A = this chain, B = another copy of it.
Amino acid sequence: MTGTDFLQLSPAAAPVRGLTGWLADAIRAAIMDGRLRAGTPLPATRLLAGDLGVSRGVIVEAYQRLADEGLVSARPGTGTRVLGVPRPVSGEAEAPPPGPLLVPPGWRERAQIDLSPGVPDLSGFPRAAWIRAERAVLEQASVTELGYGDPRGSLSLRTELAGWLARTRGLRAQPGDIIVVTGVAQALALLARVLRAQGLEEIAVEDPGSRGARDDLAYWGLRPVPVPVDEHGMDVGQLARSRARAALLTPAHQFPTGVVLAPQRRRDLLDWAAAADGLIVEDDYDAEFRYDRAPVPALHASAPDLVAYAGSTSKTLAPGMRLGWLIPPARLRAELTEAKYASDLGSPALPQLVLARLIASGELEQHIRLVRKRQRSRRDALLRALREHLPQARVQGVAAGLHLLITFPGLDACDAGYDADLAEAILRTGVLVQPLSWHRQRPGVPGFVLGYAAHTPDRLHEAARRIARGMP
């Protein structure tokens, strides 16, 4: 606890006499007003004596005085630590954060089984491979790589990503085309900033579609214009009739319906963008997980000048990584790089270098293969359980991803928030499901989005049982 201005004690301010009392007073005051908390170690006597330029005896005696008062305790080997009533972490810190939340306050706490979509099986995080790669990175990283870097991200990661996205998603991107971001949310924030500066005020979004993406765009000043999604994906005819000149889509696996943008719609969409000087924002959020259908290359592969492609490791590794990429058309590259620089100078270096190694070594690939197998069996378990307990539900979007959608066509006529009421009733059974209406801007058939990736087959079965119990 020295070498860093312990309590801002200044040797110059110390009295000529009464050094022990001066020091004991300062430490006592810090304990009393909470700056030094229970459990905090005091500086080693030798070090503090050196810092303050006083004899070690002064420090020892001051500590002894505080020990006599019951404020600190000296334990052999562990040094002197602050005692006293342990201050609980303030209630404020434990309170949910302020700001916008999709899930109402308290819901998560009440859920024994949380089926919120978008969270992978975090217990499967490749801890051993990650730490191995990070050790190698720290042994080999050049000093420059830990400094203020290229705002676009580390060249080694951008090089590996270019190859990875070419192999797995058909993209033809050079490392210089890629901007490493802290996830798709940041990609959208940067795009919104730059499009807004160019005078755009609206962006078409899928309806139903990701509520988080919609809120994020709106925060940064782009009004999200809902365009309906049917079994072929976004209705491009309606998009063309709108005034929007940018559109956000999830073509490979629409969120939350799970449909794939149909071939004719893909062509229509690209035609629209070419004719209207429009921008397609492709959120490729869970393309790695595909079970029963042919792989669909990314839209970006067909028209890199019309498409800004965004992806992340949130579904393959963990959302907490905050590691993603944005591959914009060339005309937006400079402005987006500037926006990234002005936002945070660039993404953290170490995780980028580790991910580059995991791609190069094939370990990311191996991990995804393993997880895919596990997800598929979980999906199958949930499907079986739904057939058993909720035979009236229509199940959609099962061929890929980490979630599926169930709707209740029989309840069509009910009002918009009806599924939210149902979700609240289901929460009483201990299961959190997201009502489809949370992800809608316009009314439609009620339903629930069910994320299955984070739960074992047994728990999924139990969840379906409880959902049925909570239904009217």
* Chain A residues near B (Cβ < 8 Å): 1-13, 30, 33-37, 40-41, 47, 89-90, 92-100, 118-119, 122-123, 125, 127, 130-131, 134-135, 138-139, 143, 145-152, 155, 158-159, 163, 166-172, 174-177, 182-183, 185-186, 189, 215-216, 219-220, 287-288, 290, 294-297, 318-323, 333-334, 337-338, 340-351, 362, 365-366, 368-370, 372, 454
Q: Do B321 and A151 have beta carbons less than 8 Å apart?
A: no
Q: How many copies make up the complex? A: 2
Q: What chain B residues lie within 8 Å of A163 (beta carbons)?
A: 36-37, 40
| Cβ distance A427 to chain B, nearest Cβ, rounded Å | 19
Q: Do B4 and A40 have beta carbons less than 8 Å apart?
A: no
Q: Do A10 and B294 have beta carbons less than 8 Å apart?
A: yes
Decide yes or no: A323 and B348 within 8 Å by CB, A1-B167, A167-B36, A337-B98 being known contacts.
Answer: yes
Decide yes or no: A35 and B348 within 8 Å by CB, A3-B368, A99-B151, A147-B320 being known contacts.
Answer: no
| Cβ distance A240 to chain B, nearest Cβ, rounded Å | 28
Q: What chain B residues lie within 8 Å of A148 (beta carbons)?
A: 118-119, 319-320
Chain B residue at minimum C-beta to C-beta distance from A360 = B39
21 A-B pairs with CB atoms under 8 Å apart are A1-B167, A3-B370, A3-B372, A6-B168, A7-B167, A8-B296, A12-B294, A13-B294, A30-B167, A35-B167, A89-B175, A99-B151, A127-B138, A127-B139, A143-B454, A146-B321, A219-B338, A322-B344, A322-B347, A348-B348, A351-B351
- Our pick among B93, B98, B176 for the contact of A334 (Cβ within 8 Å) is B98
Known contacts A89-B159, A90-B174, A321-B350, then 12 further A-B pairs from the complex at CB < 8 Å, ordered by chain A residue:
A3-B369, A6-B167, A35-B171, A35-B172, A93-B155, A97-B152, A99-B151, A119-B148, A123-B143, A182-B344, A321-B349, A348-B351
Q: What chain B residues lie within 8 Å of A146 (beta carbons)?
A: 122, 125, 318-321
Decide yes or no: A122 and B97 within 8 Å by CB, A131-B131, A167-B40, A296-B8 being known contacts.
Answer: no
Decide yes or no: A3 and B365 within 8 Å by CB, A89-B155, A119-B148, A322-B349 being known contacts.
Answer: yes
| Cβ distance A430 to chain B, nearest Cβ, rounded Å | 17
Which one of A12, A149, A346 has the greatest number of beta carbons of chain B within 10 Å? A346
6 nearest A-B residue pairs (beta carbon): A3-B369, A320-B349, A92-B176, A98-B334, A10-B294, A93-B176
> In the bound complex, what is the Cα–Cα distance between A420 and B365 (angstroms)?
50
| Cβ distance A124 to chain B, nearest Cβ, rounded Å | 10
- Our pick among B2, B122, B147 for the contact of A318 (Cβ within 8 Å) is B147
Q: Do B99 and A337 have beta carbons less than 8 Å apart?
A: yes
Chain B residue at minimum C-beta to C-beta distance from A349 = B320
Chain B residue at minimum C-beta to C-beta distance from A155 = B93
